[in-house]
């Protein structure tokens, strides 16, 4: 702990990031620019999330990191170790015990409670980016609430695939005002965004944007009257714990087309197995 | 009768150079105004000033809005002006690529304005898009194809459909037939004339092609070096040009 300031970043930087976070919380869904720092990891590995986590961590916090729902993948392990070393905080894999959870691509299955902070890693914060490449124009569209273009994307989905085929990073409207990219979480998780007890913070390091959802914010997934939003998942139950209500990963297990479905949230799956639930593929 | 659009003393300078200066005219509902002149005469500058793409240095562009009556569009707030731009106004670019989203299907292109004004029913949007493709003579089976697979003439017709789908009252056209071959031009003009008459549209057409204004425009303004040198009924100006430059313009049309 002598080599680094607490949680790696210097105090001035954390102060700057906290100001961006507070502004983001005051204007839910609005992308606040911030002076993103170089982090000791490549862009795309969660530099935005790490900076937000560093700014909100206190020495009393319990920290959890998940990547695609799992606690034991490279990204999760390296970020967890990073804060163990630079902040000396207690880490955990249990969703309920954590006070700060940094996540990539998932919201934990277990409902979060008040006092928790969920930090998302965001690759591209601008939901309109692939439709309108000009930043000057997308900012204007946000400020004037011109969101017709977002529906053009959904229209294209239906005309090409017969249904809204966007399955992750599904655009949402926050409190009837800003259209927001919820980071690449599966649309299965979209209903959890709204009315959540925990604070949700989104950090995009390369794009230098922070946005936020305060607790109990109204979040609506965009859709058409005759093609309503549907939170979809693989139509199976977990092979390890038998859960029917969790988001599943599909694993190829041999060269003969064998596959199994398991919970992407490892903590949820393990907790259920510990309680004695067993799926059909459990050893 | 209140004019639909009343332009007063519009001027735009690019530094010391004059874009257009002291242009005034009234456009009444159902009327089509042609603006002709050579390249660099300030036609496009004037059109862009009127359509809100450029801010003029002086003058007023008063539009008779549906809700509040005549309003100066230069001084109205940007959200209001942009709202006009996707409801009561339409802008047809010379190059269809500037006016279309090339990565989005034909149906999506036509539907965009509908979705921008709050339509949220996929079936309705698609029906209207298909209907409009039919009106501009694009086969309904092409509704899911991207404009990149369309010919130049089809792209231009698609752009027109995309602009007219919300039933605008005023259409700005910048060289709508530029870059198209003669037979395609003729069909496009025929189509435009039909649409303008059927929908009772008012239009301002900028072109250097006198045949286009002869077919479409009721009235004509001839511009040179940023100023209007002659204005009047189309046939009157074309058959009996008074100003030396108008005479030159009319006489320089090739006769086949």
Mean pLDDT confidence for B36-50: 91
**Chain A partners of B78 at a C-beta cutoff of 8 Å?**
144
Give pLDDT tens digits for A71-105: 999 999 999 999 999 999 999 999 999 999 999 99
| Nearest chain B Cα distance for residue A176, angstroms | 13
Q: DSSP letters along B86-106, please?
A: HTTEEEE-SSHHHHS-TTS-H
Containing H/E element for A228? none
Question: Has residue B65 got a pLDDT over 70?
Answer: yes
Contact A222, A150 (CB under 8 A): yes
- Catalytic residue ranges of A: 29, 238, 241, 263, 269
Mean pLDDT confidence for B22-48: 92
| pLDDT score at B38 | 85
Q: Which residue has the tokens 């003669």?
A: B182
- For residue B181, name the pLDDT band (cuts at 50, 70, 90): confident
Backbone dihedral angles phi then psi of residue A151, each to the nearest 5 degrees: -70, -25
Question: Has residue A1 got a pLDDT over 60?
Answer: no
| pLDDT score at B193 | 87
Mean pLDDT confidence for A120-127: 96
Give pLDDT tens digits for A141-151: 999 999 989 99
* CA A216 – CA A198 distance, rounded (Å): 8
Q: How would you label B97-132 residue by residue, b for 16+ Cβ within 10 Å and e otherwise?
A: eebbbeebbbbbbbbbbbbbeebbebeebbebbbeb
The strand ranges marked E within B37-147 are 58-65, 69-72, 89-92
The strand ranges marked E within chain B are 5-14, 17-27, 32-36, 58-65, 69-72, 89-92, 170-174, 202-207, 219-224, 227-233
* CA A26 – CA A30 distance, rounded (Å): 9
Mean pLDDT confidence for B57-62: 94
Q: How far is CA A270 from CA A33, A38, A265, A266, B149, in A?
A: 39, 36, 9, 6, 52
Give pLDDT tens digits for A156-193: 999 999 999 999 999 999 999 999 999 999 999 999 99
Name the token pair of A62: 């319990």
Q: Give me the percent of chain A exceeding a pLDDT of 90.
A: 92
Mean pLDDT for all residues in chain A: 94
Asked if A148 and B82 come within 8 Å (Cβ–Cβ), the reply is: no
Q: Which residue has the tokens 């305060």?
A: A214
Q: Which residue has the tokens 């490449």?
A: A133
| pLDDT score at A28 | 97
* CA A156 – CA A268 distance, rounded (Å): 36
B143 and chain A in contact, CB less than 8 A: yes
Asked if B144 and A148 come within 8 Å (Cβ–Cβ), the reply is: no
Mutate to test the interface with B, among A128, A144, A152, A158 (most CBs of B within 10 A): A152
* CA B235 – CA A183 distance, rounded (Å): 61
Instruction: Identify which has the larger pLDDT, B236 or B1.
Output: B236
Give pLDDT tens digits for A208-260: 999 999 999 999 999 999 999 999 889 999 999 999 999 999 999 999 999 99
| pLDDT score at B195 | 86
Name the token pair of A18: 């906290």
Non-local CB neighbours of B216 within 8 Å, separated by 6+ positions: B32, B34, B189, B192, B193, B196, B203, B205
A148 and chain B in contact, CB less than 8 A: yes
Name the token pair of B150: 């369309």
Q: How would you label A8-41 residue by residue, b for 16+ Cβ within 10 Å and e otherwise?
A: bbeeebbebbeebbebbbeebbbbbebebbebee
Asked if A144 and B120 come within 8 Å (Cβ–Cβ), the reply is: no
**Chain B partners of A155 at a C-beta cutoff of 8 Å?**
107-108, 111, 115, 122, 125-126
| Nearest chain B Cα distance for residue A218, angstroms | 20
Asked if A156 and B79 come within 8 Å (Cβ–Cβ), the reply is: no
Q: Give me the percent of chain B exceeding a pLDDT of 90.
A: 70
Asked if A226 and B121 come within 8 Å (Cβ–Cβ), the reply is: yes
* pTM of this structure: 0.86
| Nearest chain A Cα distance for residue B9, angstroms | 30
- For residue A31, name the pLDDT band (cuts at 50, 70, 90): very high
| Nearest chain A Cα distance for residue B76, angstroms | 14
% helix, strand, coil for chain B, step of 5: 40, 25, 35
- For residue A2, name the pLDDT band (cuts at 50, 70, 90): low
Question: Has residue B241 got a pLDDT over 70?
Answer: yes
Which residues numbered 85-124 in B keep a CB inside 8 Å of some CB on A? 86, 101, 104-105, 107-108, 111-113, 115-118, 120-123
Give pLDDT tens digits for B100-139: 999 899 999 999 999 998 899 999 999 999 999 999 999 9
Q: How far is CA B175 from CA A111, B109, B183, in A?
A: 59, 21, 16
As a whole number of Å, the end-to-end CA separation of chain B is: 42
Mean pLDDT confidence for B13-31: 92
């Amino acid at each position: 702990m002598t080599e680094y300031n607490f949680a790696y970043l210097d105090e001035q930087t954390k102060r700057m990031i906290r100001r961006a976070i507070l502004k983001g919380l005051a204007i839910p869904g609005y992308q606040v620019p911030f002076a993103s720092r170089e982090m000791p990891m490549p862009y795309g590995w969660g530099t935005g999330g790490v900076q937000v986590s560093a700014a909100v961590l206190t020495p009393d916090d319990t920290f959890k990191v998940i990547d695609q729902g799992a606690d034991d993948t490279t990204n999760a392990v390296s970020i967890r170790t990073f804060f163990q070393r630079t902040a000396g905080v207690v880490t955990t894999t249990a969703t309920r015990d954590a006070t700060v959870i940094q996540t990539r691509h998932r919201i934990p299955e277990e409902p979060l409670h008040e006092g928790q902070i969920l930090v998302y890693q965001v690759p591209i914060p601008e939901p309109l980016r692939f439709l309108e490449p000009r930043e000057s124009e997308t900012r204007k569209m946000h400020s004037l609430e011109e969101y017709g273009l977002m529906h053009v994307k959904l229209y294209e989905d239906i005309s090409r695939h017969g249904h809204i085929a966007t399955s992750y990073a599904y655009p949402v409207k926050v409190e009837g005002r800003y259209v927001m990219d919820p980071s690449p979480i599966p649309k299965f998780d979209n209903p959890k965004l709204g009315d959540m007890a925990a604070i949700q913070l989104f950090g995009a390091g390369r794009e230098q944007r922070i946005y936020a959802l305060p607790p109990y914010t109204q979040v609506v997934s965009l859709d058409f009257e005759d093609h309503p939003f549907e939170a979809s998942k693989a139509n199976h139950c977990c092979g390890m714990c038998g859960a029917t209500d969790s988001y599943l990963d599909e694993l190829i297990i041999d060269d003969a087309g064998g596959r199994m479905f398991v919970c992407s949230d490892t903590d949820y799956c393990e907790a259920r197995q510990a309680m004695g639930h067993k799926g059909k593929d459990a050893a | 009768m209140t004019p639909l659009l009343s332009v007063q003393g519009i001027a735009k300078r690019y530094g010391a150079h004059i874009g257009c200066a002291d242009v005034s005219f009234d456009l009444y509902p159902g009327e089509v105004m042609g603006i002709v002149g050579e390249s660099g005469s300030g036609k496009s500058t004037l059109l862009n000033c009127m359509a809100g793409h450029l801010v003029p240095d002086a003058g007023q562009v008063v539009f008779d809005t549906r809700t509040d009556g005549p309003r100066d569009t230069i001084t109205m707030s940007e959200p209001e002006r942009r709202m006009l731009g996707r409801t009561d106004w339409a802008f047809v670019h010379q190059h269809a690529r500037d006016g279309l989203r090339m990565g989005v299907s034909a149906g999506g292109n036509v539907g965009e304005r509908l979705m921008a004004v709050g339509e949220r029913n996929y079936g309705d949007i698609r029906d209207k898009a298909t209907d409009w493709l039919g009106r501009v003579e694009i086969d309904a089976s092409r509704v899911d194809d991207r404009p990149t697979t369309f010919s130049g003439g089809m792209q231009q017709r698609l752009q027109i459909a995309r602009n007219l789908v919300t039933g605008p009252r005023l259409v700005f056209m910048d060289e709508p037939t530029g870059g198209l071959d003669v037979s395609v031009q003729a069909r496009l003009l025929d189509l435009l004339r039909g649409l303008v008459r059927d929908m009772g549209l008012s239009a301002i057409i900028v072109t250097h092609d006198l045949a286009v204004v002869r077919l479409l425009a009721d009235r004509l303004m001839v511009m040179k070096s940023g100023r209007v040198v002659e204005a009047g009924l189309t046939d009157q100006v074309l058959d009996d040009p008074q100003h030396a430059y108008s005479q030159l313009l009319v006489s320089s049309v090739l006769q086949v």
